[in-house]
Amino acid sequence: MFSAKTVKAVLFDLDGTLYFGKNPAKGAGEAVARLIGMGIGVYYFTNNSARTREQIAKTLSDMGIFATPDMVYSASGAAARYIVEKGLEKVFVLGSEDLRGELSERGVDFAPSLFEARTLVLGLDRNFSYESAKNLLSLRGKDVKLVACNVDLVFPVEGGVLAPGCGLMARAAELLLDKKVDCCVGKPNTYMADLLLADTGLEKDDIVIVGDSLESDIALAEALGARSIFLSHDASKKGGDATIATLDEIFSLIK
């Protein structure tokens, strides 16, 4: 099923798979290095919308996990590419400065103010408040596109703790504007994977997706029609084409 002859690339989730907050997962660096040594490509898929691909690559490198920016497919980078691809204009960002930076690098047309926005990009905004919600109401009834980096309500950090995710901003916008998100570029949507396939020339049968979320990573693989390995932190949970408890078990599947 996972012969090294048929696996040309492994796509890793990050939070909860290769690291937990600021702490690398056991054996993460070794697993990545071993796959690369086998001639298998490694890519990183993350719904993180708060940091740039360069920052994510540096974080991985600092943890001893080999990474370069071109190996990283992030929700922030995907949102920037989607907006340019669709020719969306008058963009306002609800999210981090680094998300704005990703969009700016792509030459995105920004709105002078929220009230003048025709496209609202919904990323993780750690400063989201009652005042933020009140300001969103200025767009109620207007023809505005909602582009969500992801709709994850929570994500794992160190110590087994969950933190509020980008989905909080997406849900707030949907409720306050009384409309649904027009596009979500993050997992389990296949948009990031489609970008990878187009960029690299790989086919869906060439890749294996590894992640710890049935709702995000494994659902992405199913939607794409790709193979998957579920990294389960709960022995009672299984999923994907195979289930493992530790990263080094990948090599009992890919030989």
* Domain residue spans of the chain: 9-47+187-253, 89-184
The answer to whether 9-47+187-253 and 89-184 have equal CATH topology is yes
Mean pLDDT confidence for 98-124 = 94
How far apart (Å, rounded) are the C-alpha atoms in residues 107 and 81? Answer: 10
How far apart (Å, rounded) are the C-alpha atoms in residues 215 and 154? Answer: 12
The sign of the CA dihedral 109, 114, 119, 125 is positive
What band does 155 get if pLDDT is binned at 50, 70 and 90? confident
Q: Which pLDDT score, from 0 to 100, does residue 154 have?
A: 86
Query: Under a CB-based contact definition with an 8 Å cutoff, are residues 70 and 115 in contact?
Result: no
Residue 84 has pLDDT above 90, yes or no: yes
Query: Under a CB-based contact definition with an 8 Å cutoff, are residues 146 and 122 in contact?
Result: yes
In three state form, how does the secondary structure of 113-182 look? CHHHCCEEEECCCCCCCHHHHHHHHHHCCCCCEEEECCCCCEEECHHHCEEECCHHHHHHHHHHHCCCCC
Mean pLDDT confidence for 23-28 = 95
Q: Which residues sit opposite 147 in a β-bridge?
A: 121, 183
Mean pLDDT confidence for 149-154 = 91
29-50 burial, b at 16+ Cβ within 10 Å, e below that, comes to: bebbebbeeeebbbbbbbbbbb
- Concatenate the DSSP letters of all residues of 87-98 into one string: T--SEEEES-HH
Residues contacting 117, CB < 8 A, separation 6+: 90, 91, 92, 111, 139, 144
Q: Which pLDDT score, from 0 to 100, does residue 198 have?
A: 97
CATH class of domain segment(s) 9-47+187-253: alpha beta
Of 228, 227, 233, the residue nearest 246 (C-alpha): 233
Q: Which pLDDT score, from 0 to 100, does residue 74 have?
A: 95
H-run or E-run covering 183? strand 183-184
What is the Cβ-side half-sphere exposure of residue 107, based on CA atoms within 13 angstroms?
3
How far apart (Å, rounded) are the C-alpha atoms in residues 222 and 166? Answer: 23
Mean pLDDT of the chain: 94
Residue 156 has pLDDT above 80, yes or no: no
What band does 85 get if pLDDT is binned at 50, 70 and 90? very high
The one-letter amino acid code at 173 reads: A
Q: Which pLDDT score, from 0 to 100, does residue 1 have?
A: 67
CATH class of domain segment(s) 89-184: alpha beta
